[in-house]
Amino acid sequence: MADSIVILTGAGASADSGLATFRGPGGLWEGRQVEDVATPEAWSLDPAQVWRFYQMRRAALSRVQPNAAHRALAAFELQLKRRCIPFVLVTQNVDDLHERAGSTPLHMHGELASLRCEACGARCRDLQGLDPNRFIPCPRCEYPRLRPDIVWFGEMPFHMSAIEDAMAGCTLFLAIGTSGAVYPAAGFLEIARAEGAVTIINSLEQPGNLTPEDRYVEGRAAEVLPELLEELLTEIGAE
Ligand code: OAD
């Protein structure tokens, strides 16, 4: 069977760049209720608090750089493209570190670099207006407050149809730095198994959705991925 590869990344892929993960000590949700900052209800009840939280995260992007995991993933994608091997990188991360390393990910949970108008639907890429206390009006319809272009709890993730297409017939599935706690992404591993794919997980702690069928690679993504992806390229004959 021809190879078809899907890689899913989570917060752990960006941890080695200095961006906090969501769960665990020092995680982004620590000290904050998810529903205070990451739901449509929070945005309508207290937009200033939600805006401050996302403005802080947007501002943090200029202080971080892609790490060796992002670079290895971009090199992997390039090698596969050269061999015309179908490959999709899906990320739950809302940072832009995959792009800055040279990858072309599907951002299923949205992007910090993008803002969206709830009135007219316009999207605008903006990482200039970073004042935590000032909303940005829509450049198209002048609605006074663009929202973060982020998928909040209770909203439908982006790119689901492209992701489902990629998962169908997937022969190799890797999940990097994700706790397997948030659906639908947490369900991709099971879908991949059902497709008969080889499944590989890299993280620091075993995720809840791991089974004995999966290969588990423990360790920091920036340390583990360069060698792991080289090994996979050799196995699939794409070097
Ligand atoms: P989590 O914070 O839930 O999990 C991070 C995972 O990364 C854990 O499994 C860690 O073991 C692992 N990890 C930490 N540092 C690592 C490193 N240096 N190398 C490799 N692995 C490492 O983050 P996600 O699973 O991405 O959604 O969270 C999923 C979603 O929950 C997020 O996209 C966000 C959040 O609610 C939305 O905002 C919609």
Kindly report the CATH number assigned to the domain that includes residue 140: 3.30.1600.10
Q: Are residues 217 and 102 in the same domain?
A: yes
| In contact, 77 and 233? CB cutoff 8 Å | no
DSSP 8-state code for residue 176: E
Nearest residue (CA) to ligand 1, atom 25: 178
Q: 195 and 170 in contact (C-beta within 8 Å)?
A: yes
Ligand 1 proximity of 205 Cβ (cutoff 6 Å): yes
Q: Is 182 in the pocket of ligand 1 (CB under 6 A)?
A: yes
- Catalytic sites, residue numbers: 109
Average pLDDT over residues 188-196: 97
11: Cα within 13 Å, side-chain hemisphere = 17
| Model pTM score | 0.95
The closest of 152, 193, 187, 203 to 41, measured between CA atoms, is 152
Picking from 127, 150, 173, the residue at the C-terminal end of a domain is 150
Better-scored residue on pLDDT, 19 or 24: 19
The whole-number pLDDT of residue 176 equals: 98
Kindly state whether residues 123 and 202 are assigned to the same domain: no
Whether 26 and 116 map to the same domain: the answer is yes
The pLDDT score that the predictor gives to residue 194 is: 97
Task: For residue 142, give the 3-state DSSP assignment.
Answer: coil
Please check whether residues 133 and 191 belong to one and the same domain.
Answer: no
Confidence of residue 35 (pLDDT cuts 50, 70, 90): confident
Does 236 share its domain with 139?
no
Mean pLDDT of 167-171: 96
Closest ligand 1 atom, residue 23 Cα: 2
Give, using CA atoms, the residue closest to atom 11 of ligand 1.
204
**What is the overall mean pLDDT for the chain?**
94
Is the Cβ atom of 117 under 6 angstroms away from ligand 1? no
- Decide whether any atom of ligand 1 lies within 6 Å of the 107 Cβ: no
Q: Are 32 and 15 members of one domain? A: no
Domain containing 87 equals 1-19+67-109+157-239
